[in-house]
Homo-oligomer: A and B are copies of this chain.
Amino acid sequence: MQNMIKKLAITGGTHGNELTGVYLINKFKKNPKLIQREGFETIIMHNNLKAMQKCTRYIDKDLNRTFKTEDLNDPNKADYEDLLAKVINAKLGPKGSEHPNVDFIVDLHSTTSNMGLSIVIDEGSKLTWQVAAYLKEMEPRVNIFRWKGDTKDVSFVNSIAKNGFAIEVGAIPQGVLRSDLFFDTEKLIHHILDFIEKLNNKKFQKNYTSIEIYDHIELLDFPRDENGDIVAMVHPSLQDKDYTKLKKGDPLFITLEGEDIIYDKDEEVYPLFINEAAYYEKGFAMCLTQKKVIKI
């Protein structure tokens, strides 16, 4: 069905204060056998060492928004993370080439939102969707989020390769290592590697034809005043309720003075990334999605 995967990359520390990925890579460096499988090579790397050392998301800008093809090719893009993206692209890509150095990228993230075990796919290849479907079968707690982004072109680390996605687990505060979600994330990685091994060896004959996803509709900002200051918070009844249905009349925000702000559209939606710390500066309080089954 698919081409063989010869090389896969697991990357962590793309955001330096998301410790799950940082420490999983540490673990795999110490115990490389854990990620060895028959028939393909798995490489591991920390993407933003300097941000990790400072335990901050980034130095100059969000690394996971710097992988647009035009930016990778633009010598005037020279902030710290712009340069880092070019270096990572040279190592794992180059993006868009016929034969990039790796065939699949799994990029490890965490979120302060109560997203549980989430897979974030942008423009998923056929193989990417097959892996996602297998993961969901092996671990029913997994939810699949199809991200349409806050940038026009796909700008994620995993877009360097032809196949791949980000794993997002939460709720985890920035700068914190949570043991339960650390081991949950590791299990997902093992499922991915096992699946690719079986697929390469033609020991997995099933072909998934559909998958349930949460499909990006729009990014919703906090209510703000004329200075841009936040004047309302995520409503207590919505906080931590990622992947739960929101319908007309349900509370959405609450002002600092305690007044409810209601969701007033007819369309039923499923909010994700509710109250994610890193999105305050981007201007998103949450992402509204539609739950659907798509053909893959």
Contacts and interface: CB of A to CB of B under 8 A. Distances in A.
A280 interface: yes
A236 B112 contact: no
Contacts of A35: none
A130 interface: no
B179 A277 contact: no
A176 B233 CA distance: 10
Given A26-B229, A183-B258, A256-B23, A174 B177 contact: no
B112 A176 contact: yes
Interface residues of A, number: 36
B174 A26 contact: no
A257 B27 contact: yes
A44 to B, nearest CB: 14
A266 interface: no
Given A23-B256, A180-B239, A174 B277 contact: yes
A31 interface: yes
A278 interface: yes
Given A173-B174, A173-B277, A229-B26, A179 B257 contact: no
A179 to B, nearest CB: 4
B179 A234 contact: yes
Contacts of A233: 23, 177-179, 182
Closest 3 A-B residue pairs measured CB to CB? A173-B173, A175-B277, A112-B173
Given A176-B280, A180-B239, 4 more contacts: A112-B176, A173-B174, A173-B176, A179-B239
